[in-house]
Structure 1
Amino acid sequence: MSFKEKAVSWRQEVHIGKTKPRLIKAAILLLCFGILIGMAWYYSEFSAKDCAILAGICVLTLAIYMIDMPVHPVIRILFALVIPLGCFYTFETLTHQMSTMIELAKRLNIAFYYWLFLFVFFIAGRTSISMAICVAAIAIIGVGNYFVVMFRSNPIVPWDIYSFETAMSVADNYVFSVDWALAEHIAMFILMLIVGVRTNIRLNKKILRPILTVAMCIPAYFYISYLWQDNLERNTGLNDTLFNAKYMHSKDGFFVSFILDIHFLQIEEPKNYSDEYALSLLNEQKVEKVETPEELPDIIAIMDETFSDPAVLGEFETNKDYMPFVHSILRGEVANTISGYADVSVLGGNTANSEFEFLTGNSMAFFPNGSVPYLQYIRDGISTIVPQLEEYGYTTYGTHPYRAKGWNREFIYDLMGFDYRYFQGSFPFEDKLRNYVSDEADFKSILEWRNNTEGPFFMFNVTMQNHSNYGGDFDNFDPQIVAKFKNTSSNKYLNKYLSLMYETDQDVASLLSELSQSDRKTIVVFWGDHQPNDYVVRPIYKEYGLDFDNQTYEQQQQRQKTPFFIWANYDIQEQTNVEISLNYLNILLFETAGLQLDEYQTFRKNLWQGQIPMMNAVGYRNDDGDLVEYDDAPEEIQNLLNEYQNIQYYRMEREYSKKK
């Protein structure tokens, strides 16, 4: 056959599918691309280049879908081999540059992709099904991970499944914006899905499918065993320290990191652990006896949602002070206060971990990065300061003006033994600022409960007003603060966040003013649970030429700081510039209130006032004032940390199971 005859024959075999179902699906595809272009244009400045790229991907996708033409089997196999690579590249570049990844990690991630595609192919028997399932699943996880990173500055980790309900409860308060880069990534996933479906490779021998499916478990076993080996980082260079989940994912890739994280779903038993050893460490503590005060002070502990001072990241100007009262406390201008900064363990989310550290005295340093003990590890009971206070005769309250099931609080607060537990719908005052109960209404509710409680009163309260997102406009919120920079411009997120800090500041001033007039002795301990997400403070980073993905250890620790103070309406010893981590904060509170420390508090006090004056999930500060990562701790500090971990493990895993 001549070349001309072959060309005629080929043209006769090529035709455009014009059946009604195919035209409808093509119209849906076109609509999807139109929505992507429209959303990117809406949320970002118009870009002719990006618009042309999206239009080109759209035309190519529609052409591949609509045109029927013969494709050589070799070409189909090549497409089937290229698509997993394309999915890997598209997925990873959603959240970081490929250049940040370790070469071995790239190869391991690619191996995972090929294993997944083959595994599903052997089950389905044809690529038209397996490619659709795999590409769609990877696209959904990838885009979901993109938004998770954007909203909380950390990627998806295995234990997020436990907090899925909590995440869904606040999801409607976020703006899921699509910029040009995200739109192009989604478009590429759509293109790969269509190409994958059109490969249409079949495994006709049905008897082979179950055999091959089971056989795929063998490489999976060796793959996981390799990743879960001891001394992985030393042997391979892969990062499994869980120091920073976002950093770990940028080095190891998503799926390798995810598999590594699964290894940490259970609390790891500490080195040298035994029940007897942990108890001996507690029993050897020399508890200093204190005389119970004649009048026990009321104690109000307020952990304010996302309350922080972004100026710790770098100074900037505003049209007016966004927290004048709290700043005056930090400067030592308010009588009877202890003030400074708390070094918290979380950033941009996982609020429950900050309250966990305060109430239990346990440290998140001994848990996998990103884990949430409220959801993962607490089943039968948990030792906290609540029973200690109840032994003094305190009536105890655990309150939060949002949904009871968030972070499993309804169950956890019951296990902790709070006398009263109140959530949204049962607060005396529930006026809202934006979509959340305002701090003003929250604090008024605290005063209402206090005034109606006889005897010593303990309130643990987690506010909700300042929860993200900070992009929306509301009729009941008039932002007051505008940030000003020399080398960049502010954004609406930072301005609205600072305006919320201003509202909280005014409400704190009103609360303390009201309590100062009371004849009941009262202590208020107040701190922020964490700083806001990266997108809020981006202008500060731009102003100072900082990079979220390449922070020094000291810069990372600055992202963990939130203001704290202890205030009393009677004379206490005043202090300023105090640095403290939340696992130590209840010690300072008890000593200020004149209450007896127990053996665990005494053990931690010796660390706090000795060689480890601050420690959080990121690292610790030594007695010379230097910030140190845990991997770099000298042997003496490692031994102290091991003792702490042994006691914490006993209190988490053994104490209540023995009582039960």
Structure 2
Amino acid sequence: MQNEKNKKEKFYSFSSLAISIMLIISHAWYLNYQKNNIMDFNYKFAIIRFLTTIIIFSFLFVKCKKNNADSSKKTIYFEKILEYSLYFIPIILFFGIEFLVGNFKYFDWSNLVLNIIIYYAIYLILYLILNDLHLSAYILSILGMILILAQYFILRFRGTPLLPLDFLMVNTAATVASSYKLYIDYSIFVIFLLLILYLYKTRIVKKNIKQKKNKFILFIVVVFFCSFINIKSKINFFELNLFETINNYYKYGFALTLVNEFKNLKIKMPIGYSDKIAKESLNKSQYIVEGSKESEIQPENIIVIMSEAFADLENLGNISIKDGIKITPFIKSLIENNTSGYVSVPTYGGVTANSEYEFLTGNSLHFFPPGYVPYQLNTHKIKSNIINTLKMYGYHCCAMHTYIGKNYNRNVVYPQLGFDEYITDNYGDVEFIRTFPSDVLSYNILIDKIKQTDGKLFSFLITIQNHGGYAIDGYENEVNLCYEQSYPQAEQYLSLLQLTDRQIKDFIEQLSKIDENTMVVFFGDHLPLIEESFYNTIMGKDRGSLSTFEYQKLYETPFFIWKNYENGGAKNKKKNLSLNYFGPYVLSEANIPVDGYNKYLLDLMSKIPIIGQGGIQTSNGDWFNYEDIQENEKQLLDQYEIVQYYTQTKEYRNSLLQNQK
């Protein structure tokens, strides 16, 4: 009779384990399949998955309680299976993470061993510290869960994968998280619960294997895997895709990619660098800024507005809008009748601070590691050449942001950049659009600042109203699209742009009444993170099929420069340039003389007007991928990298301070 019970016990134990594994595989397969195929929602399959999940969880839960109630009924065979399965937690974790946030369609299987080594190395370290195999398994599994969720949500918030610096931007992310709809894919939910149940069952297993033996086995496993590959060589010559960073995770695996990105956090000295070469390059620029004469008007007020997520989606393709409604008619008229064009920005879907950095410093993110945010890691080396120049010509420099002032470390960075004042937070009664302060608040504060300031004013305003996400309930969309598939996020975003257009019109009308020469520079920081399928629809192809030129359009936002003291004519210029040049370009439009680094950048702009994502545009309008650029342009980029590196040295920063005295 006892043998019969044991046999039944073994049968139920093995069955529960086998069915659980099958369920995990089915959910993970379904999630991975969705990434590579456009699927209609299958109600029958969803119902079957749901019912199967309920049955399995009920079975496992009852089984766990039964085992707890009478541990004598557990068989030694099942105990050993669970005990020895703990040695394979790193392998299970690897496949779990890759199924959920990776993409096996593109995975290079030659990287399998190295990924597993990384997981085993962490596991071994935990075990050597804790001296408890079960606890080590729990901690490693929890870390895996956290990384999975981080990758999952960051991809949905920002459109780019988890990067090392994201760990430093948790506070910034938390302040805007409420504007996004948080939901977990059903498959992730199921797999997490199964993992929790598995760990719960291993908790009640007797520790039959001695601790020393555990250490020995784990050590042998790590050494065994390491013997297959030259780890140092592999990591040192690891080629990351600097522009589509998600492809690194797909091709190389989550663990291997993340380790390499940590390795790339430090900015390396350029090949052939010396202070002497950098100074010679700065001093030899012969560029002459057309029209930059001190006798011409220098505006008393220079207002730069970096509008959150402002973009011209019609630049990507035709958009079918119900009733033919125009999205930004007033801004389009300003673009048509004033100096205008497109700026190539360094980011997509988020990380506004990097667009700020390029505009204010003239430095290009092209020379930094993927995901690098200078505001977070490079604060002591940041100086703004345009602010330095403006202060030399008597401008009071003020930064404004009507949201949380410490986001992206701005409260520390702005004084380093040279701003005299930073206006942020604490405005009393504020009108909110969705969950963010209205841009009208920003413009009203700016108007008051102009009226209160005696002398020249430079104001750098960062708006927040149109920040993602774009699935916030309670906001009534004024724009409706005409497609078979619905795009609610795109409709909300376009409705916000329509509101921005009306607000800018009112703001410009107010400035027109001010009896001071005023120049307004308006541009967007990046494109919005909305439905990828909407972008595919208006562009006529998916992102993987885009040419270098087409891909660059995802990193282009419109700009215009309006002046209340000039009317079109010769000043109605059209210009496309990358954002690192835009600061010096604004100075030249304000008839403020430039020299040094600013002059060098304008000289470089005349030869390589766009340093973009994945490629450059030359002065004759041709586009080249970075691996295909000609020798002359390559030398110019190498020289630029050397000069940029020099501008971050203590010697150069001190020279800027001396100029202000």
TM range (shorter): 0.7 to 0.9
Q: Select the residue among 308, 320, 329 that pairs with 1:305.
A: 308
Give the aligned residue type for 1:378.
Answer: T
CA–CA separation in structure 2 for the residues paired with 1:364 and 1:608: 16
Range 319-328 or range 200-209, more displaced: 200-209
In structure 2, relative to structure 1, the CA distance for the partners of 1:65 and 1:582 (3 Å cut) is same
Question: 1:503 — aligned with what?
Answer: 499
Question: 1:51 — aligned with what?
Answer: 50
CA–CA separation in structure 2 for the residues paired with 1:214 and 1:9: 34
Structure 1 residue 389 displacement after superposition: 0.4
Q: Secondary structure at the match of 1:397?
A: strand
Range 459-468 or range 47-56, more displaced: 47-56
Range 600-609 or range 622-631, more displaced: 622-631
Are 1:325 and 2:330 matched, yes or no? yes
Question: 2:600 — aligned with what?
Answer: 603
Question: 1:483 — aligned with what?
Answer: 481
Q: Is the 8 A contact 1:125 1:202 kept in 2?
A: no
RMSD across aligned positions (CA):
3.2
Question: 2:298 — aligned with what?
Answer: 296
Question: 1:140 — aligned with what?
Answer: 146
Range 357-366 or range 119-128, more displaced: 119-128
Structure 1 residue 387 displacement after superposition: 1.7
Q: Secondary structure at the match of 2:390?
A: helix
Query: What percentage of aligned pairs have identical amino acids?
Result: 28
Give the aligned residue type for 2:235.
Answer: W
Structure 1 residue 94 displacement after superposition: 2.2
CA–CA separation in structure 2 for the residues paired with 1:584 and 1:56: 62
Give the aligned residue type for 2:186.
Answer: W
Give the aligned residue type for 2:524.
Answer: G
CA–CA separation in structure 1 for the residues paired with 2:638 and 2:259: 26
Q: Unaligned stretches of 5+ in structure 2?
A: 14-26, 28-40, 68-73
Q: Select the residue among 523, 531, 536 that pairs with 2:531.
A: 536
Question: 1:190 — aligned with what?
Answer: 196
In structure 2, relative to structure 1, the CA distance for the partners of 1:628 and 1:398 (3 Å cut) is same
CA–CA separation in structure 1 for the residues paired with 2:243 and 2:435: 34
Structure 1 residue 13 displacement after superposition: 9.1
CA–CA separation in structure 1 for the residues paired with 2:364 and 2:122: 37
In structure 2, relative to structure 1, the CA distance for the partners of 1:277 and 1:156 (3 Å cut) is same
Question: 1:29 — aligned with what?
Answer: none
Give the aligned residue type for 1:633.
Answer: I
In structure 2, relative to structure 1, the CA distance for the partners of 1:568 and 1:196 (3 Å cut) is farther
Q: Is the 8 A contact 2:124 2:218 kept in 1?
A: no
Structure 1 residue 306 displacement after superposition: 0.8
CA–CA separation in structure 2 for the residues paired with 1:469 and 1:162: 21
In structure 2, relative to structure 1, the CA distance for the partners of 1:351 and 1:566 (3 Å cut) is same
Q: Select the residue among 230, 233, 250 that pairs with 1:226.
A: 233
Q: Is the 8 A contact 1:125 1:203 kept in 2?
A: no
Post-superposition Cα deviations, 1:588-637, rounded to whole Å, max 9, x if no partner, equal 21121111112212222222112x11113443112342332323322222
Structure 1 residue 6 displacement after superposition: 3.3
Post-superposition Cα deviations, 1:74-111, rounded to whole Å, max 9, x if no partner, equal 63465335543332222122234211111122332223
Are 1:584 and 2:581 matched, yes or no? yes
Post-superposition Cα deviations, 1:203-255, rounded to whole Å, max 9, x if no partner, equal 634699599889979999997623432x434xxxxxx2422221221211211
Question: 2:340 — aligned with what?
Answer: 339
Question: 2:559 — aligned with what?
Answer: 564
Q: Is the 8 A contact 2:555 2:613 kept in 1?
A: no
CA–CA separation in structure 1 for the residues paired with 2:491 and 2:444: 26
Are 1:421 and 2:419 matched, yes or no? no
Are 1:619 and 2:615 matched, yes or no? yes
In structure 2, relative to structure 1, the CA distance for the partners of 1:633 and 1:352 (3 Å cut) is same
In structure 2, relative to structure 1, the CA distance for the partners of 1:266 and 1:66 (3 Å cut) is same
Q: Is the 8 A contact 2:318 2:538 kept in 1?
A: no
Q: Is the 8 A contact 2:316 2:539 kept in 1?
A: no
CA–CA separation in structure 1 for the residues paired with 2:649 and 2:59: 57
Q: Is the 8 A contact 2:358 2:364 kept in 1?
A: yes
Q: Secondary structure at the match of 2:397?
A: strand
Q: Secondary structure at the match of 2:479?
A: coil
Range 141-150 or range 74-83, more displaced: 74-83
Q: Is the 8 A contact 1:285 1:603 kept in 2?
A: yes
Give the aligned residue type for 2:284.
Answer: E
CA–CA separation in structure 1 for the residues paired with 2:110 and 2:599: 46
Are 1:106 and 2:108 matched, yes or no? no
Q: Secondary structure at the match of 2:341?
A: strand
Question: 1:266 — aligned with what?
Answer: 266
Q: Is the 8 A contact 1:15 1:67 kept in 2?
A: no
TM-score by length of 2: 0.85
Give the aligned residue type for 1:392.
Answer: Y
Q: Secondary structure at the match of 2:507?
A: helix
Structure 1 residue 507 displacement after superposition: 0.9
In structure 2, relative to structure 1, the CA distance for the partners of 1:545 and 1:107 (3 Å cut) is farther
TM-score by length of 1: 0.85
In structure 2, relative to structure 1, the CA distance for the partners of 1:56 and 1:580 (3 Å cut) is farther
Post-superposition Cα deviations, 1:22-64, rounded to whole Å, max 9, x if no partner, equal xxxxxxxxxxx9xxxxxxxxxx996313313432552454255
Give the aligned residue type for 2:518.
Answer: T
Question: 2:185 — aligned with what?
Answer: 179
Q: Is the 8 A contact 1:430 1:442 kept in 2?
A: no
What is the correspondence of 1:274-289 to structure 2 with a 5 Å cutoff?
A: 274-286=274-286, 288=288
CA–CA separation in structure 2 for the residues paired with 1:179 and 1:131: 24
Q: Is the 8 A contact 1:57 1:187 kept in 2?
A: no
Give the aligned residue type for 1:258.
Answer: L
Equivalences, count: 613
CA–CA separation in structure 2 for the residues paired with 1:339 and 1:605: 17
Q: Secondary structure at the match of 2:169?
A: helix
Q: Is the 8 A contact 1:344 1:581 kept in 2?
A: yes
Q: Is the 8 A contact 1:526 1:566 kept in 2?
A: yes
Q: Secondary structure at the match of 2:306?
A: strand
Structure 1 residue 348 displacement after superposition: 0.9
Give the aligned residue type for 2:99.
Answer: T
Structure 1 residue 275 displacement after superposition: 1.3
Give the aligned residue type for 2:585.
Answer: L
Q: Unaligned stretches of 5+ in structure 1?
A: 17-32, 34-43, 234-239
Post-superposition Cα deviations, 1:625-657, rounded to whole Å, max 9, x if no partner, equal 233232332222221111111111111234356
Structure 1 residue 14 displacement after superposition: 9.8
Give the aligned residue type for 1:581.
Answer: S
Q: Is the 8 A contact 2:315 2:553 kept in 1?
A: yes
CA–CA separation in structure 2 for the residues paired with 1:596 and 1:281: 19
What is the correspondence of 1:66-465 to structure 2 with a 5 Å cutoff?
A: 66-68=65-67, 69-72=74-77, 75-76=81-82, 79-194=85-200, 197=203, 204-205=210-211, 225-229=232-236, 231-233=237-239, 240-286=240-286, 288=288, 290-293=292-295, 295-297=297-299, 298-319=301-322, 320-330=325-335, 332=336, 334=337, 337-426=338-427, 430-465=430-465
CA–CA separation in structure 2 for the residues paired with 1:436 and 1:302: 17
Give the aligned residue type for 2:320.
Answer: E
Q: Is the 8 A contact 1:127 1:199 kept in 2?
A: no
Give the aligned residue type for 2:541.
Answer: L
Range 340-349 or range 488-497, more displaced: 488-497
Post-superposition Cα deviations, 1:295-320, rounded to whole Å, max 9, x if no partner, equal 42021000001111222333122231
Question: 1:493 — aligned with what?
Answer: 489
Structure 1 residue 285 displacement after superposition: 2.1
Structure 1 residue 174 displacement after superposition: 1.9
CA–CA separation in structure 1 for the residues paired with 2:622 and 2:9: 77
Q: Is the 8 A contact 2:616 2:623 kept in 1?
A: yes
CA–CA separation in structure 2 for the residues paired with 1:81 and 1:545: 49
Range 98-107 or range 219-228, more displaced: 219-228
CA–CA separation in structure 1 for the residues paired with 2:316 and 2:55: 42
Range 168-177 or range 624-633, more displaced: 624-633
